[in-house]
Amino acid sequence: MRIQKLLLPMAVSAATLALSGQAMAETWKMALGDAAGGTQYELGTTFADIVEEKTGGEVTIDLFPNGQLGSEQDTVNNASMGLLDLSVLAINNITPFSPTVGVLTLPYVIQSPEDAKTLTQGEIAEELTQNTIRDAGVRILGWAYSGCRRLTNSARPVASPEDLDGLNIRVPKNEIMIAAYQAWGVNPAPLAWSETFTALQQGVVDGQDNPYITIDTMKFYEVQDHVTDSCYVFSLQPLIISEGKFQSLSPEMQEIVLEAGQEATSHSYDFLLESEEAIKKRLVEEHGMQITEPANDEQQWIEMATGIWPEFYDSIGGKEKLDQALEALGRDPA
Ligand code: MLT
């Protein structure tokens, strides 16, 4: 596995086969939306190392962090067209291409790492993977668990939805997340992830939301002072492979990438549990961020945001899909 730090123009994937039909060493490209060092990077490097080891070095994977290969949404398009092999991106940036995945980003469905693990393993995840192959031409091989998305801003402590009044908050270009902010009474600014740091830095927007690990990896503490310890969406980051690429692999090679995806997922879960608290502490103690607890145990946020669920029943494949997820989590139907 190698990390590519140079900005490179988009290049066609270099899958190479010898004329004799014998496999030659190949290098695959993996895009990461985040900077090196966070949960995307942990998942990506673990996957790359396992593939390299299991193939005896026949396959090497180069990682391109920091959106070097385009915005996270661009990487879905590129993988779908066979111009990119692999990408790790936030789930909210794949949902526009395969809306049923939205069941995992409906506000307050996933409330903990355990919930996230439950819904990314087993029947529900398998169905969502089949849907992304059908809708977007990409297959989910594994998941990074990044933690709850926490609201940050540069202006003031935010404890209740009314405190958002007058703040311009960046959200991903994702209908569900836009609707959640609208339910809290503000019109957020949908912006690509690759433009977010600069927009915060230049004051084009006042705030955004992402997990503690991402706030740290992306150095948002340089441009944001306040964090609300909220948990409206759990940040899952699928590792996707171009389905065309996957189908071009031998059955043995397919088995290797599937196994590597599972092993990297398991590592990602442990990484989150081991690192999140320490990172949260560092954001306060070393970088001076101020953490605000949501008022009344987040009840007002929850009531307002979960009110949008019915708007998305059609796009997630029917209310029964949400109920199935809630049942898997041991909760009452919607
Ligand atoms: C986003 O806010 O667009 C994503 O959550 C960023 C990420 O991929 O970490």
Ligand 1 pocket test: pick from 193, 195, 196, 218 the residue with the most ligand atoms within 8 Å of its Cβ: 193
The CA 272 to ligand 1 mean position distance, Å, reads 16
Determine the pLDDT at residue 70: 94
| pLDDT one digit per residue (tens) for the chain, 334 residues | 777 754 443 333 334 333 333 457 999 999 999 999 999 999 999 999 999 999 999 999 999 999 999 999 999 999 999 999 999 999 999 999 999 999 999 999 999 999 999 999 889 999 999 999 999 999 999 999 999 999 999 999 999 999 999 999 999 999 999 999 999 999 999 999 999 999 999 999 999 999 999 999 999 999 999 999 999 999 999 999 999 999 999 999 999 999 999 999 999 999 999 999 999 999 999 999 999 999 999 999 999 999 999 999 999 999 999 999 999 999 999 9
The CA 244 to ligand 1 mean position distance, Å, reads 25
Record the tokens describing residue 171, joined without a space: 């959200």
Q: Whose CA is nearest to atom 4 of ligand 1?
A: 90
Pocket of ligand 1 (CB under 6 A): 33-34, 72, 89-90, 92-93, 172, 193, 210, 214, 235
Cα→Cα distances 297→89, 165, 271, 277, Å: 30, 20, 27, 19
The CA 76 to ligand 1 mean position distance, Å, reads 14
Q: Which atom of ligand 1 is nearest to the CA of 170?
A: 2
Q: How far apart are CA 277 and CA 216, in angstroms?
A: 12
Q: Which atom of ligand 1 is nearest to the CA of 146?
A: 9
Assess contact for 141 and 239: CB atoms under 8 A. Answer: yes
Kindly report the number of other CB atoms within 10 A of residue 329's CB atom.
15
Q: What is the pLDDT of residues 14-53, one digit of tens each?
A: 343 333 334 579 999 999 999 999 999 999 999 999 999 9
The CA 235 to ligand 1 mean position distance, Å, reads 8
End-to-end CA distance of the chain: 44
Side-chain half-sphere of 36: how many Cα atoms within 13 Å? 12
Ligand 1 pocket test: pick from 41, 72, 74, 197 the residue with the most ligand atoms within 8 Å of its Cβ: 72
Determine the pLDDT at residue 17: 38
Q: Whose CA is nearest to atom 5 of ligand 1?
A: 90
Q: Which atom of ligand 1 is nearest to the CA of 218?
A: 9
Q: Which atom of ligand 1 is nearest to the CA of 172?
A: 3
Q: How far apart are CA 293 and CA 153, in angstroms?
A: 14
Q: Which atom of ligand 1 is nearest to the CA of 208?
A: 2
The answer, as to whether pTM is greater than 0.80, is: yes
Determine the pLDDT at residue 294: 98
Task: Share the mean pLDDT of the chain.
Answer: 93
